[in-house]
Amino acid sequence: MNGLGTMIFPLVIIGGMMFFMTRSQKKQQNQRQELLNNMKAGDEIVTIGGLYGVVHEVNTDKGTVVIDCEGIYLEFERNAIKTVKEGTTATPARVQETEVVEEVETTIVEEEKENQ
């Protein structure tokens, strides 16, 4: 019985580790799939190749995404998207106008030239 007990304990530990590892992988996979399913035009994205752009169009039938990269439109598979940041409407930066007043003191210095 002692030999069987020493065999069961490591198997239970290994089985528990495998359970928790697959559980976390499945959770990450579900989060990624939800991220890709909720992607819409205007969202900022980064591809797995490091390309930054804005989603122009999502085609769920073909499983592709058209990305606007500063006027250049590229088509990628949805699985090529690494991260998605929800689009924000571009708001112009607030500019605060201030009046600059500068007082300048003028000093007139007369120099005498000596004629030699």
Express as a percent the part of the chain with pLDDT over 70.
79
> pLDDT confidence of 74, banded at 50, 70, 90?
very high
Contacts of 47 (CB under 8 A, 6+ apart): 53, 67, 76, 80, 81, 82
Q: Which CATH number fits domain 40-89: 1.20.1070, 1.10.238, 2.30.30, 2.70.98?
A: 2.30.30
Proportion of the chain above pLDDT 90, given as a percent:
22
Order of strands, sheet of 52-59, starting from the edge strand that comes earlier in the sequence: 72-77, 64-69, 52-59, 44-47, 81-85
pTM: 0.54
